[in-house]
């Protein structure tokens, strides 16, 4: 498939599910990130309980640049590592129905982590230096991996930090 064909596939997509598949074919989303094999991503038996969290950089390319897409159990708070100065966030269910959306969420501070919160149908952003209160929260990394924040330390001048994230995966 050449570059112009990829664009047509993306442009012709009508449903959210088809758009997501089109992103895979167009090379916008790596197929491995979705476990794409012509079926839906492999998940546990309760897959319908999971949510997609997508983070976009809206000021790149014609329609923005996907920074991360993670599939997780429902949550109202998610940390995101290395956010751009402006991001757009969409939360959707396993059928592609939008649950919450935040557009052009601007950076509030120069930090390595931002806290994304779902408040009804709206997503808010707060740039933070994690504290003990954030330990145990999920962290979405650029590319789509999601882990649990296990520890965080930063220097008083905030010029260095050390952190640990635990990852767990299943294809059952």
In sign, the C-alpha dihedral spanning 136, 141, 144, 145 is negative
Nearest by Cα to 138 from 92, 74, 78 = 78
Q: For every one of its 172 residues, what pLDDT tens digit does the chain have, with 9 covering 90 and above?
A: 444 444 443 333 334 444 555 454 454 444 444 443 444 444 445 666 899 999 999 999 888 999 999 999 999 999 999 999 999 999 999 899 999 999 999 999 999 999 999 999 999 999 999 999 999 999 999 999 999 999 999 999 999 999 999 998 878 7
Which residues are within 8 A (CB) of 86 and not within 5 positions of it... i.e. 6 or more apart? 57, 58, 59, 104, 105, 106, 107
Start-to-end C-alpha separation, the chain: 32
- pLDDT (0 to 100) of residue 76: 97
Whole-angstrom Cα distance, residue 105 to residue 154?
25
């Amino acid at each position: 498939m050449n570059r112009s064909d990829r664009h047509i596939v993306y442009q012709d997509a009508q449903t959210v599910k088809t758009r997501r598949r089109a992103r895979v074919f167009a090379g916008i989303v790596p197929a491995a990130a979705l476990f794409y094999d012509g079926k839906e991503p492999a998940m546990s038996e309760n897959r319908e309980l999971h949510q997609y969290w997508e983070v976009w950089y809206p000021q790149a390319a014609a329609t923005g640049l996907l920074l991360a897409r993670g599939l997780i159990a429902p949550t109202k708070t998610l940390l995101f590592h290395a956010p751009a100065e402006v991001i757009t966030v969409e939360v959707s269910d396993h059928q592609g129905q939008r649950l919450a959306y935040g557009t052009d969420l601007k950076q509030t501070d120069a930090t390595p982590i931002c806290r994304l919160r779902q408040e009804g149908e709206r997503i808010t952003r707060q740039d933070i230096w994690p504290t003990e209160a954030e330990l145990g929260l999920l962290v979405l990394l650029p590319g789509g991996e999601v882990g649990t924040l296990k520890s965080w330390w930063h220097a008083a001048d905030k010029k260095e930090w050390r952190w640990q994230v635990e990852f767990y995966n299943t294809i059952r």
